[in-house]
Structure 1
């Protein structure tokens, strides 16, 4: 069965308004979503991403590398995490992700993981 990844996007402060109790309940909802998939035989993989990192590019004519702190993107949304699942097709993957509690705070970009490199 093909694998799909959901990229969890949101603003840096999307959950900052939550009280400690609300934050705990939100965490429990995230965990329960994964546990429900696992019980259904489709254990999700993935994890959160740090806000800091580096962007590595092949340098200009000298063939060296250009390394900058990042990622910095224009706009307000950040990529905060990812989840991988199995689904028969993109429609089923969309349906699975449509119940994820992250949608209360941001968006989920769903993409098929290429089985033979980058696929159309």
Structure 2
């Protein structure tokens, strides 16, 4: 099995318009999906990311607030999943709840070093 990283982008606008009950139900679907794509009875590792942060460049000499990208391009969270190959990892991503609000999943293989 290989490891793949799912990077989640977009979908925040529709999510923010939900009632607290709808948000809770949506988050429950995330938990169910993350357990479903796991090889165990526990959810795959992953977390949502805070919308703000810092960008460090030039060996630490340049530190700016960020990220400053268009909203749909900001990475909102990540998940690590094991799959046989890229096609399998893509197939596992197809039921991700982010699609309910127009978000995307970028699937990237983690290279062993």
TM-score, with length taken from structure 1: 0.82
3-state DSSP of counterpart to 1:99: coil
Who wins on radius of gyration, i.e. which is larger?
1
CA contact (8 A) 1:51 1:80 kept: yes
Alignment partner, residue 108 of structure 2: 111
Contact kept? 2:4, 2:110, Cα under 8 Å: yes
Structure 2: 5+ residue stretches without partners: none
Equivalent runs, 1:82-97 vs 2, <5 Å:
82-97=78-93
Unmatched tracts of structure 1, length 5 or more: none
Quick check: 2:11–2:98 contact (8 Å CA) kept in 1? no
The answer to whether the 8 A contact 2:34-2:44 is kept is yes
Query: In 1, Cα distance between the equivalents of 2:20 and 2:107?
Result: 30
The size of the alignment, in residue pairs, is: 110
Cα distance, 1:51 vs. partner? Answer: 1.0
Structure with greater helix share of residues: 2
Q: Once superposed, which parts of structure 1, at least 4 consecutive aligned residues long, lie more than 4 Å away?
A: none
When normalised by structure 2's length, the TM-score is 0.86
